[in-house]
Amino acid sequence: MQTGIKEDIATFRIGRSWLAARASEIAETIDGSNIVPLPGMLAGMVGCVMYRGSTLSVLDLAKIVGQSGVTAIGQRPSGQIVVMTLPDDTRFGLLVDDLGEIVEVLTSRLAPLPQMMTGQEAFADTVVAYGDTDDSGLLVVLRAERLYRSLSVGARSVPDGRTTRPDANGKSAASGAVPLARSA
């Protein structure tokens, strides 16, 4: 039996990727079938739902990382909404295709991403190695605060599906998909 400080990590699938988030940053999961799209949404937004008497913005990370998961008829399956919460109790939803397990992980197994891989637009800050060999896989752990900040800095959708973000001069510049972690 391994001893040490442990943290609960919730796993879920978005597109073809399994990702995770700290369970402490998740309020609950709700049905994603009642999402209402709104005109002029930020890039990555899929719409909003009513949640406990208020509107809850719902992000679709699959659209951002280029794994849309759309069906033959052009619609993405509704899935589940993971309700993420920030320290100030701000809440937003993250559309996921499948829910996984909540696992208890030793904090010593949470490895920070290298500086060159993260930046202002990175959604993750740590990974968990799984498996028992040197070729273990990595599970990317998203941060609610980073998701919220990155997706609400003024990115807007443009007709061809790319996003626009302010450049260094404050002008809007089109870009491709925003990565989970920035590379050098």
- For residue 1, being part of any structural domain is answered with no
- For residue 50, being part of any structural domain is answered with yes
Average pLDDT of the residues of the chain = 76
Domain count, the chain: 1
Look at the block and give the residue holding tokens 């990565």: 179
- For residue 181, being part of any structural domain is answered with no
- For residue 75, being part of any structural domain is answered with yes
**Boundaries of domain holding 52:** 6-175
**pTM of full prediction above 0.85:** no
* Residue bearing the bigger pLDDT, 12 or 176: 12
15 close to 96: Cβ distance less than 8 angstroms: no
- For residue 183, being part of any structural domain is answered with no
> Which 8-state DSSP code applies to residue 131?
S
Whole-number Å distance between alpha carbons of 13 and 10 = 11
Write out pLDDT tens, residues 24-38.
999 999 999 999 998
Identity at 111, one-letter amino acid code: A
What is the reported pLDDT for 162? 45
Write out pLDDT tens, residues 55-98.
999 998 887 766 555 544 445 556 899 999 999 999 999 999 99
CATH value at residue 97: 2.40.50.180
